[in-house]
Structure 1
Amino acid sequence: MILTPAASFAGTSQFAKYQSFQGNCTGANYEAWAYFEQSGDKVTATDMCVDGHSAVTKWKAGNLGDPKLLWASGGAGDSVTISRPEIPEGADVFIKACIGEFGSKTVIDCTEWKVGVA
């Protein structure tokens, strides 16, 4: 019998950037950024463009429940970060960078899922 030590989870952060290549946010200027920082289990949504839309980070931990939405609705340059200490250590954390309409809470379009580890 071979014994191996229990896995330790150092965690990995993940970054997603949304770009539609339309309007005045082309090139290096992405409309929305989404970020999961494993240190402190922080989720961030950042609006990077004067385009009339809010930035939205869609996120979820593991396979538990529906995705949650974090809105940066204060206009270009607005960034909102929350800490989620209830995310279990070693859990996969899925994020998408999206744009949306804050008033109606409608998500318009998103990137594919990116995966980090808490």
Structure 2
Amino acid sequence: MSTSSRRGLVGLLAALLCLVGAASAQASADGPKLCAPGNTACVWFTNDGDVIHVQDVACDGHSAVAQVQIASLGIYDNLWNSDGCGTIRTYSYGTAVPEGTTVYYRPCIGEWGTRTLLSCNSGWTHGTA
């Protein structure tokens, strides 16, 4: 094999190793917006700052709540938006969540005064920090 052929092969192998390494790194990803039945509360995740957004959609006197689970970190939170109809409250986990960690969440409605959940979406969705 000629020297130029070896260099070409080495260059190709190096490029492939870079691609494999990049593909195996976990990419962060925003999560989809998920709304409770009847579109009363909506929740979504953005990975820049690892932020949960809790939107109170219905003018029904109830608060919107995001249930958040990051099991690998032992985080099980209920994040409340008691600001009223049409508002969005955000909660940032910042650097508390390592890159590549899956953040599960779902919307609920509840009574702010007693911190009682009335109902939650049956399914969960997720984003990646």
Shorter-chain TM-score bucket reads 0.7 to 0.9
What's the counterpart of residue 119 of structure 2? 109
TM-score, normalised via structure 1 length: 0.82
- The answer to which structure has the higher strand fraction is 1
2:28 corresponding residue in structure 1: 11
Distance between the aligned counterparts of 1:78 and 1:103, measured in 2?
Answer: 18
Matched letter for residue 5 of structure 1: G
Aligned residue pair count? 107
Aligned equivalents of 2:41, 2:117: Cα separation in 1: 12
% identical aligned pairs: 35
State the SS of the aligned residue for 2:72: coil
Equivalent position of 1:58 in the other structure:
67
RMSD over equivalenced CA pairs, Å? 1.6
Computing the radius of gyration from Cα coordinates, the structure with the larger value is 2
What is the SS of the residue equivalent to 2:21? Answer: coil
Cα deviation for residue 109 of structure 1 reads 1.1
* Residue 78 (structure 1) shift: 1.8
TM-score with structure 2 length normalisation? Answer: 0.75
Runs of 4+ aligned structure 1 residues displaced above 4 Å come to none
Between Structure 1 and Structure 2, the one with more helix by share is 2
